[in-house]
Amino acid sequence: MRIPPIVPVVLSGGSGTRLWPLSRLDAPKQLLPLFGDRTMLHSTIDRVRDLPGRRPVIVVGNAAYADAVRAEMTHAGERDGTMVVEPIGRNTAPAVAVAAHLAAAGGDDPLLLVMPADHLIPDVDTFLEAVAVGVEAAAAGNLVTFGIKATYPATGYGYIRAPGPDRVRPVAEFVEKPDEETAARFLAAGDYLWNSGMFLFGARRYLEELEQHAPDVAHAAAAATAQVRRDDEGSIRLPTEQFAASPSISIDYAVMEHTHAAVVVSLDAGWNDIGSWNSILEVSPGDATGNVLIGNVIVQNSEHSYIRTDGPLVAVAGVNDLVVVATPDAVLVTDRTHSEAVRQLVDRIRDTHRPEGEISVRRHRPWGEATVLTRGGGSIVDRVDVVPGETLTAAPGTWLVLEGAARHPGGMLGTGESLVVPAGDEASLTNPGPATLVLVAVTAAGV
């Protein structure tokens, strides 16, 4: 059997509100370096870098942070990849349908490996081995999903019932998130897997099934793809009217629960969907007391806690099982067993129209980070830190070098020197190293 090429499709549309205050609408979790120095999106692209038969990645993401995603793709070495910009979120079924149309536009029919951008998979070799197992099934016309070996009675995941000992098994049933008693029964039965939300299928095969089971989604995606436009950065932007006509629905609901061709490949690679601060605590290496401490933290007589600060010193004493996360403008304190309730807490913050609910004063970027110092009068003042060897695109405004040196098309800027970028223009600023380049930028709000 001839194995088709594989196009990784990375879904980068979520906002990750359960990881507030680090993750916000303008800085979603897939664009944060939660583990090490690489963002979740970067790690997802790296995961499939050596996949046999791999073609350039397609990333589908929200318009609100399209520029940041595009920059992160470049930083991850995926310059030839395609960024698809959604004007409005419509869940995974229409997003993948657009990717399928684009992937098959050249006349062939590649396989699509669909992955969320914000999952943790530490054992990459085992993951790639599972993909290799699924490739043959997908090439034969099956719609493959990856089921995670359940290790405890989780109530936060959907389940896949697939009886039998084989590595590739027909899906008998998709099950919604259960209560604790039901989850324990699933675990004891042994024929239930966690639903990972990752898929592998032929591009045209998926579109055929979508047309059969969710024709309104199929028609809207086809209409939107027929009228895409490429912006100056090479990203593909979908038309709002046509794409918004699609129902908001997942692949599971639109196709996988109805098709007779669904099969599951079991996967045991340390997968975690990083849905809460407690899940990060559970997969992070802790100290002898079970604490995970990141940043300027001091702890006394406290255990089994996740304490992180990107701002002031955080001192914790005499309490256990906490999540404490501090940023320059907000602090979260919660019992680790209640970290799933952060979403409701963020909703309350937004209901009071507090900017901390959506806007982050510190934004991580592939070249470093930018921190808001002040806003007002139609302008925003940022501190900008550029790591050695990296280049940023300077928007219109005034850019002053505080520390280090910056190279730009007109020459070099030393400490105390500034560059004015005229309205409607932009300039590249490169840090030749070896130390961090620190700038103050005064630009128009919203730039």
Task: Yes or no: say if 194 and 157 are a contact pair by the CB < 8 Å rule.
Answer: yes
Position with higher pLDDT, 242 vs 447? 242
Can you state the angle between helices 40-47 and 124-139, rounded to 10 degrees? 60
Over residues 173-208, the pLDDT tens digits come to 999 999 999 999 999 998 999 999 999 999 999 999
Give, in degrees to the nearest 5, the angle at Cα 314 between 311 and 317. Answer: 170
Rounded CA-CA distance 134/142 in Å is 9
pTM of the model: 0.88
446 band by pLDDT with thresholds 50, 70 and 90: low
The residues near 232 (Cβ < 8 Å, ≥ 6 apart) are: none
Lowest average pLDDT, out of 238-252, 276-290, 353-367, goes to: 353-367
The per-residue pLDDT for 376 is 82
The per-residue pLDDT for 25 is 79
Rounded CA-CA distance 229/174 in Å is 37
Give, in degrees to the nearest 5, the angle at Cα 184 between 182 and 187. Answer: 110
CA atoms 197, 67, 446, 417: torsion sign: positive
CA atoms 219, 220, 224, 227: torsion sign: positive
* Mean pLDDT value across residues 118-140: 95
Position with higher pLDDT, 424 vs 121? 121
Mean pLDDT of the chain: 93
Rounded CA-CA distance 355/350 in Å is 7
Other C-beta atoms within 10 Å of 434: how many? 8
447 band by pLDDT with thresholds 50, 70 and 90: low
The H-or-E segment that residue 133 falls in is helix 124-139
338 band by pLDDT with thresholds 50, 70 and 90: confident
Is pLDDT of 441 > 90? Answer: yes
CA atoms 329, 335, 336, 339: torsion sign: negative
State yes or no: cis peptide before 21, omega within 30 of 0. Answer: yes
The H-or-E segment that residue 378 falls in is none
Domains detected in the chain: 6-267 (3.90.550.10), 288-351 (no CATH), 367-444 (2.60.120.10)
The per-residue pLDDT for 241 is 96
Position with higher pLDDT, 3 vs 290? 290
Over residues 96-121, the pLDDT tens digits come to 999 999 999 988 899 999 999 999 99
Task: Yes or no: say if 395 and 447 are a contact pair by the CB < 8 Å rule.
Answer: yes
The per-residue pLDDT for 7 is 97
* Mean pLDDT value across residues 143-165: 93
Rounded CA-CA distance 337/360 in Å is 25
Q: Which of 132, 182, 165, 159 is nearest to 256 (CA)?
A: 159
Rounded CA-CA distance 223/393 in Å is 34
Percent of the chain at pLDDT > 70 equals 99
* Mean pLDDT value across residues 48-56: 94
